Amino acid sequence: MNTKPFTTGLSENAVMITRVADRQWHALDDDLVVGRGHAEHRPDGRLFVSIDAWHDATFDRLAEAMLAQLPAPLHTVVDEADVELTAGWRRAGFTIRRREWEYVVPTDPRVTGLEAALPPAGVTIVPAGQADESLLRAVDRAIRDEVEASVGWQSMPAEVIPRPEGDTIVDPSKYAVAAAPDRYLGLIRVVPVNRPRIGL
């Protein structure tokens, strides 16, 4: 364990930052946990950090200890509406790399108004679980190559599903596709990440 004392004003005693596990830190004030830090490797290999603390000084000290002991680069995810947390990470030296918008969307065509929507001429929609796996892999590879040639995969969302090396289609049953007679034109994937999430 690594400890680092500092004074926060939370009490007359010094608050201790203690590394309690390989990727976990606690801020202790008289044996009371007043803050926690955590680091986690995501499936894509990136290292993400999080801190939960009531006071800015505790947050700052946890960030300082974690950043000194973890390899760069480090990442975190923050809701921009959380102004205090965003400010804390900025004080620690983090910058905004990308922004994402998350939407909760209805899927019932009667609710969305898409019940009567038809695909363009010559295009059919292949429901999830019915796609030809070789055609699915071909369109997935084409999309991934296009992304890699432009913004690159490192700019894509932080949460990705684990997969064997080189295999980007983990479960073909999760994909629906737009199909032309000789090839697939596009795909949509729904995977559970805390709740069902649409990708690609």
Contact 177, 136 (CB under 8 A): yes
* Predicted confidence (pLDDT) at residue 154 exceeds the cutoff of 90: no
Listed in order, the ranges of the chain carrying CATH 3.40.630.30 are 3-91
Residue 108: count of CB within 10 angstroms of its CB: 8
What are 47's two structure tokens? 């290292």
Q: Which residues pair with 79 in a beta bridge?
A: none
* Predicted confidence (pLDDT) at residue 158 exceeds the cutoff of 60: no
Identity of the residue numbered 70: L
Mean of per-residue pLDDT scores for the chain: 83
Query: How many residues are given for the chain?
Result: 200
Please give the distance of CA 121 from its chain centroid, rounded to a whole number.
37
Rounded mean pLDDT of 127-136?
93
Rounded mean pLDDT of 161-188?
82
What are 126's two structure tokens? 């292949």
Domain 3-91 indexed as CATH 3.20.20.70: no
SS3 148: helix
* Predicted confidence (pLDDT) at residue 191 exceeds the cutoff of 50: yes
Nearest to 84 by CA among 61, 104, 60, 108: 60
What pLDDT is recorded for position 15?
Answer: 84
* Predicted confidence (pLDDT) at residue 18 exceeds the cutoff of 80: yes
Rounded mean pLDDT of 82-106?
89
CA distances from 194 to 85, 91, 97, 161, 162 (A): 22, 29, 23, 12, 15
> What is the DSSP pairing of strand 184-193 with strand 74-75?
unpaired
